[in-house]
Amino acid sequence: MKTRLSKTLVGLIIVGGIFFVSCDISRKKGENSDKENSNQVINSDTYLSIRDPDTALVVFLYRNYKNFDYENQIEEYGRWRLEKAKLLPLFKNLFEREANYEDVVSLIELNLVKYIDSSRLKVESDYVNYHEISNSKEYDYLTEAKDTFLCKLYFKMIADSKVSKNEKEKLRRHINYCQ
């Protein structure tokens, strides 16, 4: 009985926190002009106070959809790309009633395309400049996402005499999904 009661209380606290975040965003939206909202960046206290990383991420994306910054949002957009099937229903649940919901989702998707393109450019630049790609976050995200861009680059690098044997071995471990 005591365990059941504590689980119920924890559930109510989580639901209350999500409701609070949603209400807070709606309230702030009404108080600020659209121009002010476009410059709003989530502060770290809010991000940490949410405690649930999935909710924190969707709130972050909602608040910052107009402020795409590749260098500072690599992890957020990487997670969004890899876990979108899990995160999109939560995003929809929290923000679907907002008047600009469709526009926000469209812009986040556009930012995701920019993120993927920037990641590919960074990995290719690492290859051209350093003949090594396996030591970057971008490489890790593209590999985890099984991005087909890497397949062409793998084969090119394995054939390149300037690429170290160690790097070629690392690439061979991930080449399986290309075939």
DSSP string of 2-65?
HHHHHHHHHHHHHHHHHHHHHHHHHHHHHHS-HHHHHT----HHHHHHH--HHHHHHHHHHHTT
Place 78 in a pLDDT band, splitting at 50, 70 and 90.
very high
Q: What is the mean pLDDT of residues 135-154?
A: 92
> Is pLDDT of 177 > 70?
yes
pLDDT of 51 reads 84
The pLDDT tens digits for 9-40 are 444 445 444 444 444 444 444 444 443 443 34
Going from the C-alpha of 115 to that of each of 47, 77, 136, 163, 177, the distances in angstroms are: 21, 7, 14, 26, 22
Residue type, 172: R
Most confidently modeled of 14-28, 38-52, 124-138? Answer: 124-138
pLDDT at site 48: 56
Query: What is the length of the chain?
Result: 179
CA trace torsion 52, 57, 62, 65 (10° rounding): 170
**Where does residue 73 fall: left (phi above 0), alpha (psi -120 to 50 degrees), or beta otherwise?**
alpha
Q: From CA 131, how far away is CA 119, in angstroms rounded?
A: 16
Residue 167's SS3 state is helix
Burial letters for 93-128: b for 16+ Cβ neighbours within 10 Å, e otherwise? ebbeeeeeeeebbeebeebbeebbebbbebbbebbe
pLDDT band of residue 85 (cuts 50, 70, 90) is very high
- Tell me what pLDDT residue 102 has: 96
| This prediction's pTM | 0.71
Average pLDDT, the chain: 81
Which amino acid, 82? L
Is the pLDDT at 89 greater than 90? The verdict is yes
What is the rounded average pLDDT of the residues 75-86? Answer: 95
